Chains A and B, each alone.
Chain A
Amino acid sequence: QKEVEQDPGPLSVPEGAIVSLNCTYSNSAFQYFMWYRQYSRKGPELLMYTYSSGNKEDGRFTAQVDKSSKYISLFIRDSQPSDSATYLCAPNNDMRFGAGTRLTVKP
């Protein structure tokens, strides 16, 4: 079993939709959970991070961690075409990343 599992998509939604991106991980010792966003032909950039379980909100983005089920989620409300990118989860204790989910938001 891979340490980080993420559905690579691709995922296509209409503008204004709520998007849910998810990852599972296997190491119960992970404490920090990062989401990176990568635009086409660019390097990834940190979008959000959470520590331990719970939710964290930043504008239209919400990161959620459920340590009991080893499940992390990123929700995007009122999605915009500018959100079109690949989103990578990273339980960052181990420097490993999920495969990344490629999201397209259509106008």
Chain B
Amino acid sequence: NAGVTQTPKFRVLKTGQSMTLLCAQDMNHEYMYWYRQDPGMGLRLIHYSVGEGTTAKGEVPDGYNVSRLKKQNFLLGLESAAPSQTSVYFCASSYSMGTGELFFGEGSRLTVL
């Protein structure tokens, strides 16, 4: 029972480099989300998806892109990493939006030097 799996768990980037975070869920959930968590700021929604092939912007989308080519996968991309994107990134999925429990991955710690 894997639930929500995020890869990689840790990554160090230099300013300007690009990378992709992968989120995979095995619960057949329609809804998937990417959050970032910073000290004192809580979880902030970056992008989300209401189904395969759809994406939408959250609170803090600038500097990130996402894709949901398969129902079980949600990718978060950083095209040109900046130090301000140093954070812990969490992926989550849910059966329904607004009323349903969010299931989170273990997090991906990204440092941008």
Contacts and interface: CB of A to CB of B under 8 A. Distances in A.
A99 B45 contact: no
A88 B107 contact: no
B8 to A, nearest CB: 15
A46 B101 contact: yes
Q: How large is the interface on B (under 10, 10 to 19, 20 to 34, 35 or more residues)?
A: 20 to 34
Given A41-B107, A95-B58, A96-B45, A34 B33 contact: no
A20 interface: no
Nearest to B41: A99
A93 to B, nearest CB: 4
A96 B92 CA distance: 13
Interface centre among A36, A43, A45 (most CB of B within 10 A): A43
A41 B33 CA distance: 19
Q: How large is the interface on A (under 10, 10 to 19, 20 to 34, 35 or more residues)?
A: 20 to 34
B101 A95 contact: no
Contacts of B40: 8, 99
B104 A45 contact: yes
A24 B68 CA distance: 34
Contacts of B4: 43
B61 to A, nearest CB: 13
A97 B98 CA distance: 12
Contacts of A96: 45, 59
17 contacts: A32-B99, A42-B106, A43-B4, A43-B106, A44-B102, A45-B104, A49-B101, A88-B43, A92-B99, A95-B45, A95-B48, A95-B58, A96-B59, A98-B42, A99-B40, A99-B41, A100-B43
Given A93-B98, A93-B99, A95-B98, 10 more contacts: A31-B99, A34-B101, A44-B90, A44-B104, A88-B43, A92-B98, A97-B42, A97-B43, A99-B41, A100-B42
